[in-house]
Structures are given as structure tokens and as C-alpha cells.
């Protein structure tokens, strides 16, 4: 019976400790800067256009092929009287969040630091009623960065890129 | 006498289907128990519900893309699974991993072993019938470790952090302090489990002498990890073929002597303490600064033709990766040697002749991860 | 014929009906409270918060659950035996409810004072096993069947120590009338004279109620809820109600028989309010212990469970009865009872410890079991 008494005392000691669980939907834990939810595109606030030039690097590197990228000529390029130095710019971009496995490879291969993993809670709480709603289009992917709602963290890759 | 009486009454054996949706099959494992009263006469296991063809998928991807799939073969100890894979790629490509990266890898793998063992304690405790308490204890400690992993790698379970050659990016600046903090909480968690189970008479009565397998049988089945060591075989890849920096670390290989369910539990509990010691030594020896990747890494890693088998000690046993390359940037063939699958083979041997409740405990004590069994 | 109810002269039958109504309301409210309390207390033991969204501190959780359960579809498996399946919940619930007839909550506050109250209680409370077996058999589910048979075996085994431990008090008290037993404990509760009987009563009650560590019939990790596995909605909630009502009745009876009920330590002339507090506190103590054990102890195996009852509890309680008889016949001092009881508790503890820590004879046992199975 000594062991049983010991178990009972152990549970009693946890009885007196503070709960370790969080009241989740009301209380969110602070996410670290490197937290990876789903990828989203970044907005170049200086020139007021996306960083992404639609170069297909991420699309080709994606192991689960969840991205679709289309590029176009930049209407805001210097040659046509604009302010941007980007000759090509992203036209359409879809990421299927249902397929994405959050491996960070798209961020690593991007030459323009135009894509980052969402490190806010909006990236984690993405449940929808229909899985086709998880296919994000360009506007959705850019909106957070455009509004300045995320603090992007693009890893400094150790000589891989 | 029992058998004679049984014939008189013309009894029938009962087949009951345990799983794939059963609270204690730890995932989507299914076994059909043939029972006579409360005694198990036969066990027919069915696997494959979680088969995704991870090995085949890796053959269509370059080496970096494969890491994500390796994570998913062993979701409770993804760092250990990644480690085997990247070490195999490194061996093929002839890459030299910087020292600091090796220390970090070791710390993370040992932490992952701890989190996986805590998960085992929790799930196994629930199998024995404590209502939820061990689960929360295990989860509590695992949560602290996972938070640390999230701070470093960005993800809580599928880290994709080890890369052929080293690490994807450097650890956070307060890494050592954070690990020490986590270790302190782990020590408390180990004490809690020790108090809750090790001497508890009911737990002892339920687990001692149950699910026995002899050392010879265990070796014949190809078991490894704590399940094998519980039978008294001191096989530990960390000790036998030291990889990373294990040669510079002083640690004990924990063995049991009886090969029953209790020993399999107790081995893991002691391994938790041993892992804490290993991490403390690593922290003392790890340099604070230094490269985490070799100087010259190609943009796209290509390997010369060849084949390699690398094995490491994952929490459940020997996790091996057999990699064949015919040149180019992707594996020609990848085969994962999963410890869980081999350990699971012995299920029948261990549970036939026991009570139904024991069969559940035996299954729990093997500590299977179905994604690793089915891949 | 009239009786006295709150100072009013009421017809006997109306009086009984009114008291039954009160009991129904009281029981339902207390059971809801118990379910809430169990979830909160288990939560604390497990460093969780427990239910907290419904009402203040989640107090309305049981009400929300009840609404949900009533609203759920009442499913019956295609191959289930309709009568057996649908009647089983009632057969589990009604005996528990009938048990409340004799429970002495306060002075003069049972539905009926029975001279053979204790006998009535142990008789009626064991009837519900029929419902368990029916639920197990009628569900046409193998888990349910195993669970039902386990429940039958367990209930029959633990009925004996339970009855005998209550009987040993009845022997000393010289009556089976629960009110009378409570009244005799005005100065010293019977736990002092019969500590071992209380220990055995507590263990056997845990088994009777299918609470941990004896929750083998409903073992979540083995038979997935046992006899309840096919039930849903209102029928399942009847099982739940019966389980917690059984816990309540067992706690109150235990408090009355061993802990002095409303009479100890302040005497039975106490105001009704204080009596409620006293009985409530004693019953809560027992219930808390039950919850605490549930949070801490693993489940026994079926053979260990049976062995524990027949080989350890039953002989010890028989020894207690023998000693009681000797003391009563020869008119020895009551102190002997207390000493023997304490020695019995020590014996119980040490025998249990030794039984659990027997050296393992693995290959022999494995071989024997295999031979038996083959």
C-alpha cells in the first residue's frame, strides 16, 4: 500500500499546483518569431507593390506542389513611366493551404525574400467549412503583409541560397 | 481440466476486433483478438491504415524536399527521423558536418527522445487505466520541449530543421539557457511519473510478469530500442556505433532483466534520466559560436552513385535509412528500417496466453507509432 | 391514516409521493453537481482547469450536457434485442432510485423508516446488475457482452464483502434500522470500533459502483465503455445518472453507518441546517476520496480483482464478524473491537502489498497460461 499512498500523494501535489492548460480560444500563447504557419506573400511598402516577381522558384521547389504562379509585365516599371525596378511582377498566385506541409522550402529558395511563413495566430486558425476555401489567392496572401499585420521572419540560410 | 470442461460445454472462441478506432491502439492499428473467456488465444494484427508511400515519395524529390516526409514517418520524434535521413545523405555526398551543428543535433535529438518517452508514459498510463492523469503529466513536459523546438525551428512537430550538411539556420541566442530551463521542468516530470507508477502496487501487479519475451526471442524478432533492452540485451546504437558526438559523452545503456511490461516501462523511465545527463554534458561541451553548415555547399545537392545504410538510436529503437543513389539530386531508392514494425512483430508472442487487459498493455508497452510502421 | 410532514397532517400515500418527488429533484440536482464536481476535481488533479465555459465556473455544464443528451437521437443497433436493450437502462436506474427510500439524510427524513433498512438497501442495490447484464447482452456488441459479464462477476464477488462489512456494524448495533444505527453513534462513530469494516466497505463500494480502480466492466482502454458502448442520448444519460446516484447513496450510507451520519459529533438534537452540513460534509469526504482514487490509480485485472475479493477481503471481514460475535457473546469491552479492527487494517495493507509485490515467475507463468489457452 506504500506505493498506492505515494501515487495518491503525487496527484495531491499536482492538485496544489497551478493548471498548465490555457483557456485556448480566449487566451493565446505568444508565438515565437520563427513560428511557421502557412506561407504568405510580402508587400514592398516602399514602392507599394508585392516583392514577388512570379519567378516560379518556389513553385518548382515545393515538394507537395501546392502553389500555382502566373507572372505578368509590371505596369509600374520604370520603362513605362512607373517607379518600380521590377520588370516582371506577380499576376496570379494560389497556394492550397490544405496541401501545404509547411516545410519552409519556398521561403528558402525565394531570391527576392518575397514569401515568408505566417508567424501570427491568423495563420494557425484557418479552419473552414469547405476545403476549397483553403486555396488562397493573391489578394488573400498579400493582405496581411499589406496591412502591416505580420512581422516577417525570413531565415538567413547558411549558404544554401 | 479447463480444456476438458470446455469440450463438454462446446464453447466457442470469441473474435473481437480491437481498432482501428479503439482508444488504446495508439493510432490506426488494428488487431483481432481470439479470446476464450478472458484469455487471449490468438492475435492477428493488421497494419497499413496509415500507409502514404513516404519512401516512394522521397524518390521523386530532391534531398532537401525529402526531409519533410521523413519528419512525418515518425511524428513523435521527428528530429531523430530527420537525423537518420540527413546523415545518410551526408555519408553519400561526403559532407563534413561542423562541430557545433553536431552538438545542437545531439541536444535536439535527446530532447526529442525525452518528449517521445513522456508521450509513451502518458499513453501507457492511460492504458493501465488511470483516468487521464499520466497523459496530462506527459503532455505537460512534452509541451515545454515542443515550445523550445518551436522557438528554434519554427514548428511544433514537423521541424524540417536538419539539413544535409548541418542545420537550416542557427539556434536562438538564448538556446542554452532555455534548454536548462526545460531540463529543470523535465526532472520534476520524471519525479512525478516515478511517484505515480513505479511503486504503485496495482501498477506493479498489472505489469510485472506480463508480456514476457526472452532475450533470444527478442533478438530473433529484430526488436530494438527500450523494448529489446528490457529483455536484458544492452544494444544501443549510440554506444555500439557512436554517431554525432556520442563517443565523447559518458552515459549508461539502461537494460532490464525480466523482459516484461514493467521492465519496458522502467527502462524508459531510466532512459529519461540518462538523456537529461547526456544533454547536460552536451551543453557543457557545445561551443557558443561557430558555423552550422560546411563552407562550400552547392545550391542543389547532388550525390555520387552509391548506397549507404545509416542507423541511429531513435526513441523506439534502431531507425535506419538505406539510401541508394545513381547520381543526381534525388535518391534512387530509399528504405526506412522502422523499429516499430520489428517490435510489433513480437506482439503475438508476447500477448498470447495473457488476459485481454494484458494484451492492451503489451501493445502499449511496445510504444508504436503507426506512421512509422506503415510509412 | 395520516403522517406528519413539515408539521402538516398528510395522507400516508400523499406523504410518500411528496417525499419521493423531493428525492427525485434532490437526487437529480446533486447528481448534476457531482458530475460537475468530478470534472473540476479531476481537472485540478491533472493540472487542468476543467469545465468553465457554461455559467460561473462551468456550474451549468451538467445542465448543458443533459440538454444535449436529451436532444440526441436514440440509436438502437439493428441486431440488438429491442426489449432487453431498451429496458436495461431502467433496470439499472430504478433499483438505485429505490435505494433512496431508506437513506437517512436528516433526522426523520427518509421516505420510510424500515426496521430492516440495511438489508433492504443491500438487497435492492444489487438488483441493478441485472440491468448491466441486459445492456451487455442486448446490445449485440462483443465489447458490451464482455463488459456485462465482467460486471456480473465483479458485482457478485464484491457484494459479499460489502454486505458482511455492513453486517459487522449491524451486529454491534444490534439493529438493521439505519436511523437507529445513526442514533447510536451520538458519541462515538462506528469507524472507531470497526475501522477494518469501513476499509472493506469502502473498497467493496468502489467495486460495486464500478469506480476506479475497479472500473473493469467499463474499462475505457479495454472494452471501450463496456455495456454502454451502444447507448446514446437519453438512455446513456440514465446510466450516467444511475452511476452518480449510486455514488451518492453509497456515500450517504457509508457516512451514516460508519461516520455517524447527522448524529456525530454534535448530537442529533441539532438544527436541520447543521445536519445538512454534517451529512453533506461526511458524504463529500467519501466522494472526494473516490474522485482522488480515480485520478491516481490504475485499473486491476479481472483475475486480480476476483482474487482480491475472495482471497483477501472476504476472509478478513469474516474474521471481523467472528471477533464481533465473541465480543458480543462474552460481553468483552468495545476497545477490543477497535484494536482488532486496527490490526485488521494493518493486515489488509500488508497482505495487499505482499500480494502485489510477489516475485515474478515469468517463464513459468507464461508457459502455464499458454498451456491453459491452447
For C129-151, write each residue's pLDDT tens digit. 888 888 888 888 888 888 888 88
Structural domain contains residue A7: no
Interface contact flag, A10 C296, Cβ < 8 Å? yes
Interface contact flag, B196 C213, Cβ < 8 Å? no
* B135-147 per-position pLDDT tens digit: 888 888 899 999 9
Q: Would you give the DSSP letter of residue C115?
A: T
* Span B336-358, average pLDDT: 86
Burial B231-262 (b: 16+ CB within 10 A, else e): bebebbbbeeeebbbbeebebebbbbebbbbb
Kindly report whether the peptide bond that precedes residue C213 is cis, defined as omega within 30 degrees of 0: yes
Contacts of A27 in chain C (CB under 8 A): none
* C297-318 per-position pLDDT tens digit: 888 888 888 888 888 888 888 9
What SS3 state is found at C336?
Answer: helix
CATH number at residue B223: 1.10.645.10
Q: How far apart are CA C249 and CA C271, in angstroms?
A: 22
pLDDT of A157 reads 62
Find which of B3-17, B178-192, C353-367 is predicted with most confidence, using mean pLDDT: B178-192
Q: Decide if pLDDT at C163 tops 60.
A: yes
Q: Decide if pLDDT at C373 tops 80.
A: no
Burial A64-101 (b: 16+ CB within 10 A, else e): bebbebebeebebbeeeeeebebeebbeebebbbeebb
* Span A52-61, average pLDDT: 86
Structural domain contains residue A126: yes
* Average pLDDT score, chain C: 82
pLDDT of B113 reads 92
* B288-303 per-position pLDDT tens digit: 888 888 877 777 888 8
> In terms of C-beta density within 10 A (0-12 exposed, 13-18 middle, 19 or more buried), how is residue B94 classed?
exposed
pLDDT of B322 reads 92
pLDDT of C3 reads 60
> Which residues span the domain enclosing A90?
34-146
Q: How far apart are CA C310 and CA B313, in angstroms?
A: 47
* Span A36-55, average pLDDT: 86
Interface contact flag, C296 A15, Cβ < 8 Å? no
> In terms of C-beta density within 10 A (0-12 exposed, 13-18 middle, 19 or more buried), how is residue C243 classed?
buried
Which residues numbered 75-94 in A keep a CB inside 8 Å of some CB on B? none
The number of distinct structural domains making up chain A is 1
* Span B197-217, average pLDDT: 85
The number of distinct structural domains making up chain B is 1
pLDDT of B6 reads 54
> Which residues span the domain enclosing B61?
2-374
> So what's the ipTM on this one?
0.86
CA distance B16 to chain C (A): 7
Share of chain A above pLDDT 90, in %: 1
C272 pLDDT band, cuts 50/70/90, is low
Which of A36-45, A124-133, B343-352, C355-364 is least confident?
Answer: C355-364
Q: Would you give the DSSP letter of residue A18?
A: P
**CA closest to A124 among chain B residues:** B155
Q: Give Cβ neighbours of residue B298 (< 8 Å, ≥ 6 apart).
A: none
> In terms of C-beta density within 10 A (0-12 exposed, 13-18 middle, 19 or more buried), how is residue C288 classed?
middle
CATH number at residue A91: 3.30.70.3270
Domain parsing of chain C, residue ranges: 1-71, 75-354
* Average pLDDT score, chain B: 87
Nearest to A8 among C43, C44, C292 (CB): C292
* B232-248 per-position pLDDT tens digit: 888 888 888 888 888 88
* B105-136 per-position pLDDT tens digit: 999 999 999 999 999 998 898 888 888 888 88
Which of C79-88, C101-110, C177-186 is least confident?
Answer: C101-110
Contacts of B356 in chain C (CB under 8 A): 146, 222
A161 pLDDT band, cuts 50/70/90, is very low
Q: How far apart are CA A157 and CA C78, in angstroms?
A: 61
A4 and chain B: CB distance < 8 Å anywhere? yes
pLDDT of B145 reads 92
Q: Decide if pLDDT at A159 tops 50.
A: no
Which backbone phi and psi does C138 adopt, to 5 degrees?
A: -75, -15
C372 pLDDT band, cuts 50/70/90, is low
B246 and chain A: CB distance < 8 Å anywhere? no
In DSSP notation, C73-103 reads -----TTS-HHHHHHHHHHHHHHHHHHGGG-
Amino acid at each position: 500500500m506504500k506505493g498506492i499512498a505515494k501515487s495518491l500523494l503525487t496527484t495531491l501535489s499536482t492538485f496544489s499546483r497551478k493548471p498548465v492548460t490555457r483557456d485556448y480560444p480566449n487566451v493565446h500563447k505568444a508565438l515565437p518569431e520563427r513560428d511557421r504557419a502557412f506561407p504568405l506573400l510580402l508587400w514592398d511598402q516602399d514602392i507599394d507593390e508585392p516583392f514577388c516577381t512570379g519567378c516560379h522558384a518556389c513553385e518548382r521547389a515545393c515538394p507537395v506542389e501546392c502553389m500555382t504562379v502566373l507572372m505578368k509585365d509590371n505596369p509600374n516599371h520604370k520603362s513605362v513611366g512607373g517607379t518600380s525596378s521590377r520588370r516582371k511582377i506577380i499576376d496570379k498566385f494560389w497556394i492550397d493551404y490544405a496541401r501545404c506541409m509547411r516545410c519552409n522550402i519556398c521561403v528558402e529558395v525565394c531570391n527576392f525574400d518575397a514569401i515568408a511563413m505566417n508567424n501570427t495566430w491568423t495563420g494557425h486558425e484557418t479552419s473552414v467549412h469547405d476545403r476549397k476555401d483553403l486555396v488562397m489567392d493573391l489578394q488573400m496572401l498579400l493582405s496581411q503583409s499589406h496591412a502591416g499585420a505580420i512581422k516577417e521572419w525570413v531565415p538567413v540560410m547558411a549558404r544554401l541560397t | 481440466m479447463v480444456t476438458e470442461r470446455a469440450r463438454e460445454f462446446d464453447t466457442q472462441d470469441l473474435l473481437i476486433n480491437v481498432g482501428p478506432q479503439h482508444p488504446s491502439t495508439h493510432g490506426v492499428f488494428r488487431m483481432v483478438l481470439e479470446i476464450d473467456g478472458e484469455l487471449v488465444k490468438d492475435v492477428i494484427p493488421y497494419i497499413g491504415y496509415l500507409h502514404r508511400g513516404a519512401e516512394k515519395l522521397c524518390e521523386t524529390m530532391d534531398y532537401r524536399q525529402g526531409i519533410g516526409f521523413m519528419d512525418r514517418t515518425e511524428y513523435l520524434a521527428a528530429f531523430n527521423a530527420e537525423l537518420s535521413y540527413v546523415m545518410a545523405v551526408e555519408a553519400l555526398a561526403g559532407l563534413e558536418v561542423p562541430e557545433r551543428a553536431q552538438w545542437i543535433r545531439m541536444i535536439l535529438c535527446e530532447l526529442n527522445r525525452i518528449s517521445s518517452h513522456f508521450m509513451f508514459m502518458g499513453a501507457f498510463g492511460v492504458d493501465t487505466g488511470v483516468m487521464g492523469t499520466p497523459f496530462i503529466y506527459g503532455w505537460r513536459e512534452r509541451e515545454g520541449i515542443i515550445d523550445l523546438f518551436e522557438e528554434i525551428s519554427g514548428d511544433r512537430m514537423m521541424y524540417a530543421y536538419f539539413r544535409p550538411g548541418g542545420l537550416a539556420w542557427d539556434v536562438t541566442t538564448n538556446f542554452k539557457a532555455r534548454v536548462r530551463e526545460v531540463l529543470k521542468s523535465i526532472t520534476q516530470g520524471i519525479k512525478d511519473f516515478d511517484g505515480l507508477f513505479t511503486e504503485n502496487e496495482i501498477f506493479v501487479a498489472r505489469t510485472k510478469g506480463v508480456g514476457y519475451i526472452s532475450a533470444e526471442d527478442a533478438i530473433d524478432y529484430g526488436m530494438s530500442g527500450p523494448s529489446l533492452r528490457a529483455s536484458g540485451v544492452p544494444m544501443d546504437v549510440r554506444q555500439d556505433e557512436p554517431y554525432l558526438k556520442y563517443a565523447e559523452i559518458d552515459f549508461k545503456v539502461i537494460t532490464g532483466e525480466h523482459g516484461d511490461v514493467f521492465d519496458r516501462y522502467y527502462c524508459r523511465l531510466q532512459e529519461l534520466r540518462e538523456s537529461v545527463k547526456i544533454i547536460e554534458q552536451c551543453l557543457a561541451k557545445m561551443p557558443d559560436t561557430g558555423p552550422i553548415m560546411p563552407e562550400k555547399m552547392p545550391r542543389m545537392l547532388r550525390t555520387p552513385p552509391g548506397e549507404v545504410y545509416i542507423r541511429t538510436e531513435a526513441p523506439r529503437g534502431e531507425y535506419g535509412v538505406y539510401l541508394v543513389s545513381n547520381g543526381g539530386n534525388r535518391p534512387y531508392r530509399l528504405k526506412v528500417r522502422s523499429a516499430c514494425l520489428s517490435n510489433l512483430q513480437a506482439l503475438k508472442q508476447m500477448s498470447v496466453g495473457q488476459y485481454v487487459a494484458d494484451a492492451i498493455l503489451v501493445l502499449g508497452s511496445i510504444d508504436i507509432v503507426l506512421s512509422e510502421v506503415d510509412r | 391514516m395520516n403522517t406528519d410532514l413539515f408539521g402538516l397532517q398528510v395522507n400516508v400515500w400523499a406523504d410518500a409521493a411528496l417525499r419521493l418527488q423531493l428525492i427525485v429533484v434532490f437526487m437529480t440536482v446533486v447528481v448534476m453537481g457531482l458530475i460537475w464536481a468530478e470534472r473540476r476535481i479531476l481537472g485540478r488533479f491533472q493540472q487542468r482547469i476543467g469545465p468553465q465555459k457554461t455559467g460561473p465556473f462551468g456550474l451549468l455544464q451538467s445542465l448543458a450536457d443533459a440538454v444535449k443528451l436529451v436532444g440526441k437521437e436514440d440509436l438502437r443497433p439493428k441486431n440488438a434485442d429491442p426489449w432487453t436493450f431498451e429496458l436495461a437502462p431502467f433496470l439499472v436506474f430504478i433499483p438505485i432510485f429505490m435505494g433512496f427510500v431508506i437513506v437517512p439524510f436528516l433526522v426523520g427524513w427518509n421516505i420510510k423508516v424500515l426496521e430492516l433498512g440495511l438489508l433492504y438497501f443491500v438487497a435492492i442495490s444489487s438488483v441493478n446488475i441485472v440491468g448491466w447484464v441486459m445492456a451487455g447482452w442486448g446490445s449485440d456488441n462483443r465489447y458490451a457482452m464482455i463488459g456485462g459479464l465482467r460486471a456480473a462477476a465483479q458485482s457478485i464477488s464484491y457484494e459479499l464483502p460489502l454486505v458482511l462489512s455492513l453486517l459487522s456494524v449491524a451486529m454491534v448495533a444490534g439493529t438493521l434500522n439505519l436511523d437507529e444505527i445513526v442514533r447510536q453513534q451520538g458519541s462515538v462513530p462506528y469507524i472507531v470500533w470497526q475501522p477494518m469494516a469501513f476499509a472493506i466497505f469502502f473498497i467493496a463500494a468502489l467495486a460495486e459502483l464500478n469506480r476506479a480502480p475497479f472500473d473493469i466492466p467499463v474499462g475505457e482502454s479495454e472494452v471501450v465503455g463496456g455495456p454502454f458502448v451502444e447507448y446514446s442520448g437519453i438512455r446513456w444519460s440514465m446510466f450516467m445518472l444511475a452511476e452518480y446516484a449510486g455514488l451518492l447513496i453509497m456515500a450517504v450510507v457509508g457516512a451514516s453507518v460508519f461516520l455517524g451520519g447527522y448524529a456525530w459529533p454534535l448530537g442529533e438534537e441539532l438544527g436541520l441546517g447543521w445536519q445538512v452540513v454534517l451529512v453533506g460534509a461526511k458524504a463529500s469526504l467519501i466522494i472526494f476520496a473516490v474522485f482522488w482514487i480515480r485520478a491516481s490509480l490504475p485499473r486491476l485485472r479481472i483475475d486480480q480483482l476476483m482474487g482480491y475479493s475472495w482471497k483477501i477481503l472476504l476472509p478478513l471481514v469474516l474474521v471481523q464478524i467472528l471477533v464481533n460475535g465473541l465480543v458480543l457473546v462474552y460481553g468483552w469491552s468495545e476497545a477490543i473491537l477497535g484494536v482488532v479492527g486496527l490490526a485488521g487494517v494493518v493486515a489488509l495493507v500488508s497482505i495487499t502489498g505482499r500480494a502485489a509485490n510477489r516475485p515474478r515467475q515469468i517463464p513459468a507463468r507464461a508457459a502455464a497460461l499458454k498451456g491453459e489457452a491452447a
